[in-house]
Structure 1
Amino acid sequence: MAILVIDDEQDIRFLIEKFLNKAGFTDLYFASSPEKAFEILGIDEYEGNSQVESSKIELILLDIMMPGTDGIEVCERINNYPEISNIPIIMVTALTDPETLERAFNAGAMDYITKPIRRVELIARASSAIKLYRERQTRIKREIELEDALHRLEETNKKLEKIATIDELTKLPNRRLLDETLKNEWKRAKRNRSFLSVIMLDIDYFKNYNDTYGHLKGDECLQMISSKLKDLMFRPGDFVARYGGEEFIVILPETNLEDALIVAERLRKGVVELQIPHVDSKISDYVTVSLGVTTIKFGDKLKDILDEKDAREEELINKFVETADEALYEAKEKGRNKVESKYFTLRA
C-alpha cells in the first residue's frame, strides 16, 4: 500500500521521500500539482464524471499552499468522491493560524504537519494515520462480509420457509400454510363483514386407484389434479392447498355460496376433463372428485357473537372446515362426482 505526496516544491518532495524511505515506506507516489494528483487518484477532469478506480493509496500528504488550486480545495474535491474519501489526508503547512487549520479540517483533513518538516513528527503522524486507515478498512470489510452473510442467511431462510409450507409431491401449499391462510382470511372477512367460502375436495375411490395402478401412478394422479386445480384458480386471492392424502381445500375470500358452487362445479368438470383412466372406479371410467362447499357471512349480529368468542376462534374455524367436510360426505353419499353444500351456522 502506498502514500501519495502532493507538493509543488521539489525540495519538500525530496525531503519527505528521504524521511519516509528511512522509516520503511518505499511505495510512494509524487504529484507536483493538483492536476497530477487527480490523475493518480483517477479523478476525471470534470466534477460528477468520476472514473475513480480502487486505489492502493493509504495516506495523502497534501501541501496547503500551492499555485492555482490550493491544498484545501484539493482536499474538498477528493472528499467529494466516496470511493477515495476515506483515504486519510494530512496537511503539510507553514500556516498554523486557527482560521486556516479550521478550513482544512472542515475540508476533510484528519491532521496536519508543520513546516519545516521534522522527521519524527512526520513518521509518527503518518504511521498513526495509516494504522487507523487499515483498522477502519478491516472493520468495513468485516461489516460488508457480515451483511453479505446475513443476506445469504435471509435468502436461505426464505427458501426453507417456502419448503416448509409447500407439499413436496403436489407443489401446492401444505397443511401448515393452509391453516395460516384460513385463519388470516377468517379474520379479514370478520373485519370486513364479508363472505368467506371453503371447498373440500376428495378424489373418488383413490384407494382403488392405488391398488390397481400402484402408488407411483397414484402420485402422478395427485400431481395432475393438483396442477389442474391450481390452473382453475382464476382470482389472485383464491387459494388451493393439499389437506392430506387425496383431499384438497380451496379458500374463496369474499365469495358467497352461489358463486362458490360455481367454482366447485368448475373444479369437478376440470378433473373429469383430465380423463385419467380409472378402471376400478364404481362411477366412471375416469378419475372423478366429490366436493363439499360451505359459506359464512360475517354480518353485524354474527360479528358481535364472534367478537365475544375470540378465545374460541380456532375452534370455530375448525367447525367451519368440518361443515365443508360434512357437505363432502353428503356428495359421496349421493353417488360421488358431485358438489354438495351446507351453510355454516353459529348459535350465540
Structure 2
Amino acid sequence: MAILIVDDDPQLCQLIGVRLETAGYKTLTAGTAEEAFARLQAGDLEVELVMLDIFLPDASGIEVCRRIKADPRTCDIPVIVLTGSNDEEHLEQAFDAGAIDYIEKPFKGLELLARIRSALRLKAEIEQRKRQAQELIAVAEQLKRANEQLRQLSFHDALTGLHNRRYFDEFLEREFKRAQRSGTELALIMIDIDYFKSYNDRFGHQAGDQALRQVAATFRFVVHRSHDLVARYGGEEFAVVLPETAQPAALTIAESLRQRVEALRLPHPDSPFGVVTISLGLAVRQPKPKESLSQLIEAADMALYHSKRAGRNRVSAAA
C-alpha cells in the first residue's frame, strides 16, 4: 500500500515523501496527470491515498480528481488536494469532484500527517462498512434461498415428492378463479388406491410407502403438462388438476392413470384384482361467476364414491 503524491514540483514531492516515509508510509510520485494515472493503473503498489496538486501542467487537478472518482477501479481511493491558494471556488470544485480534504502550501509536518491519518481512518471505516454491507447482503441472499427452500418443502410431500394438500388447495382455488374469469373448463380427478389398508396390514408400512412412491411416479409420467398438478391429497388419496381440459381429454388421462397403475403389477393378494389398482372420480366444470369451488370438489368426490361402489379399479365421471 502506498500514498501517491501528484505535484509538478519535484522538491515538494521529495519533501512530502521524506516526511511520510519517516512516519512509516510508502510513497509514489507523479509530476503530471498522465503519470498519475499510469501509477494508479500499474498495480506494483496498491495506492491507498492520493495527494493531488490542484494545478498540474497537463490537466486540472480537479478534473484528475473527477476522473479518479469516476473510475470503478479507483473511486474508493481518498483524494487530498494540495493547493497554494485558499480560493473558495477552487476548493468547492475540488470537494464537488470528490476530494476528501485539502492542505494548503506551505504545509506543516504535523498537520500533514494528521490529515493523512484522518483520511486513512475514514477510508478504513468506509471499507469496513462496505464489507459489513456486503456480508449483510450475502446473509440476506442466503436467508432468501433458505426461505424459498423451506417454502418449497412446505408445498411438497416428503414421501412421494408430489405437491402436498396445502399446495393443492391453493393451486385449485387459483385455477378455479382463473377459469371463472376466462370461461374455460377445469377438470379435477380424485384418486384412491384400492384396498390399501389391507396392503399395509399384509406387507407392512415400508412396503406401503414404496407402493405409494411407485404410484406417484406413474402419475408424474402420465400428467406432464407444465400447468397441470398432481398432488398427494392425504394417506392413499391423490388428486389431479387439469386446467383448460374438457371432459373427453380428462377421461382419457384418468383412464391412462388407472391402466398405468395396474400395469405396475404390484402384488396385492387381498384385492380381487390380485394387484394394486386405483379408483378415480372425475368432475369437469366451466365455473359460473357465483359458483363455489366446493361444488367441483364434491362432484369429484361423489364420482370417486361411485367408482368404489361399482367395484373399484375404474373411472367414473360426474354428470
Does TM, scored on the shorter chain, surpass 0.5? yes
Of residues 146-155 and 129-138 in structure 1, the stretch that sits farther from structure 2 once superposed is: 129-138
Structure 2 residue 157 is matched with structure 1 residue 167: yes
SS of equivalent to 1:66: coil
Structure 2 residue 16 is matched with structure 1 residue 26: no
SS of equivalent to 2:216: helix
Structure 2 residue 241 is matched with structure 1 residue 251: yes
Partner of 1:291: 280
2:201 aligned to 200, 211, 227, which one?
211
Partner of 1:346: none
Q: Structure 2: how far apart are the matches of 1:8 and 1:85?
A: 23
> Would you say the 8 A contact 2:78–2:123 is kept in 1?
yes
* Cα RMSD after superposing both structures: 2.3
Q: Structure 1: how far apart are the matches of 2:137 and 2:250?
A: 47
Structure 2 residue 230 is matched with structure 1 residue 231: no
Runs (5+) with no aligned partner, structure 2: none
SS of equivalent to 1:243: strand
Q: Structure 2: how far apart are the matches of 1:336 and 1:40?
A: 85
Offset of 1:84 from its aligned partner?
Answer: 1.7
Offset of 1:163 from its aligned partner?
Answer: 1.1
Offset of 1:81 from its aligned partner?
Answer: 1.3
Q: Structure 2: how far apart are the matches of 1:41 and 1:158?
A: 44
SS of equivalent to 2:271: coil
Partner of 2:14: 14
> Would you say the 8 A contact 2:20–2:26 is kept in 1?
no
Equivalences for residues 1-348 of structure 1 within 5 A: 2-21=2-21, 24-42=23-41, 56-282=46-272, 284-298=273-287, 302-303=288-289, 305-306=290-291, 316-343=292-319
Q: Structure 1: how far apart are the matches of 2:299 and 2:161?
A: 26
Q: Structure 2: how far apart are the matches of 1:270 and 1:65?
A: 85
Runs (5+) with no aligned partner, structure 1: 44-51, 307-315, 344-348
Partner of 1:309: none
Q: Structure 1: how far apart are the matches of 2:286 and 2:67?
A: 68
Q: Structure 2: how far apart are the matches of 1:142 and 1:83?
A: 20
Map Cα deviations across residues 211-234 of structure 1 (whole Å, 9 max, x no partner). Answer: 332222211111111011012113
Offset of 1:179 from its aligned partner?
Answer: 1.0
Of residues 201-210 and 126-135 in structure 1, the stretch that sits farther from structure 2 once superposed is: 126-135
SS of equivalent to 1:37: helix
Offset of 1:31 from its aligned partner?
Answer: 3.1
Offset of 1:3 from its aligned partner?
Answer: 2.3
Quick one: percent identity of the two aligned structures? Answer: 43
SS of equivalent to 2:4: strand
Offset of 1:320 from its aligned partner?
Answer: 2.7
Partner of 1:312: none
Letter in 1 for 2:271: S
Instruction: Normalising by structure 2, report the TM-score.
Output: 0.91
Letter in 2 for 1:78: I
Q: Structure 1: how far apart are the matches of 2:215 and 2:73?
A: 57
SS of equivalent to 1:86: coil
Letter in 1 for 2:201: D
Q: Structure 2: how far apart are the matches of 1:218 and 1:118?
A: 87
Q: Structure 2: how far apart are the matches of 1:147 and 1:29?
A: 36
